[in-house]
């Protein structure tokens, strides 16, 4: 009886880690890095995390968790409330509807999928901000941000896959 309780608690804690990791990424993304020019092209860590978990473990990152992550990001980053939430929800929606094309494929397909999803989600974010502030926001930084995010995805993906092997594959 005791063992099963601890086992359940253990499993529950493990299942919470995708959400926890994504929250940590959101906080990490606003920590000042003191690297010249970095703040402008900082990678969208939360987008990577949401993409990754919704491809590999959508059950562990439910849609309301994505919403909460987006709102937290909005609050911390100072963007208009709801913008990042929408960006992440768009990414989440695209991945869930196209998941069968991504699952079980090689890493490059997953990466390509991320390239497309991130492009669409960031374009949606850009459009939202532009409409919200009734002006054309400069897209140059966004393009660099996209490239940095894309380039960093293999590293993050490797980390998450190791994490999955270590903590989530015992199910």
Partner 1 sequence: MKERPRQIFRVEAPIRTLAQRFVYLGLVAAAFALMLLGKADVLLVDRMRAHVTDAVAPILDFASRPVASAKEIVGEVHAIVALKSENDRLREDRARLLQWQAVARRLESENQALKGLLNFKPGPEASFLSARVIADAGGAFAHSIVLNIGERDGVENGQAVVTGEGLVGRVAIVGARSVRVLLITDLNSRIPVLVESTRTRAILAGNNTDQPRLIHLPPNARMPRGDRIVTSGHAGVFPPGIPIGVIAGVGDGGITVQPFAKRDALEYVRIVDYKLDGILRQPKKTHRERGTGR
Note the residues at the interface with partner 1 (CB under 8 A). Answer: 27-42, 44, 63-64, 66-67, 70-72, 74-86, 89, 92-93, 103-104, 125-126, 128-129, 132-133, 135, 137-142, 145, 171
Backbone angles phi, psi at 12, to 5 degrees: -60, -45
Q: Between residues 9 and 27, which has the closer beta carbon with respect to partner 1?
A: 27
Asked whether the beta carbons of 48 and 149 are under 8 A apart, the reply is: yes
Shortest distance, position 141 Cβ to partner 1, whole Å: 4
Shortest distance, position 88 Cβ to partner 1, whole Å: 9
What beta strand segments (E) does 55-161 contain?
Answer: none
Shortest distance, position 115 Cβ to partner 1, whole Å: 18
Q: Between residues 1 and 35, which has the closer beta carbon with respect to partner 1?
A: 35
CB atoms within 10 A of CB 122: 21
Rounded-to-integer distance, Cα 162 and Cα 170, Å: 13
Shortest distance, position 33 Cβ to partner 1, whole Å: 6
Rounded-to-integer distance, Cα 45 and Cα 148, Å: 10
């Amino acid at each position: 009886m005791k063992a099963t309780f601890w086992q359940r608690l253990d499993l529950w804690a493990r299942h919470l880690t995708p959400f926890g990791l994504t929250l940590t990424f959101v906080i990490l993304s606003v920590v000042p890095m003191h690297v010249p020019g970095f703040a402008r092209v900082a990678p969208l860590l939360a987008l990577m995390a949401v993409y990754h978990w919704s491809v590999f473990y959508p059950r562990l990152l439910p849609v309301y968790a994505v919403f909460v992550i987006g709102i937290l990001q909005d609050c911390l980053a100072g963007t208009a409330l709801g913008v990042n939430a929408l960006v992440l929800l768009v990414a989440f929606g695209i991945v869930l509807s196209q998941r069968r094309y991504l699952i079980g494929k090689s890493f490059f397909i997953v990466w390509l999928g991320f390239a497309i999803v991130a492009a669409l989600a960031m374009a949606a974010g850009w459009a939202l901000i532009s409409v919200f502030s009734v002006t054309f926001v400069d897209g140059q930084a966004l393009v660099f941000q996209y490239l940095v995010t894309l380039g960093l995805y293999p590293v993050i993906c490797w980390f998450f896959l190791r994490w999955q092997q270590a903590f989530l594959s015992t199910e």
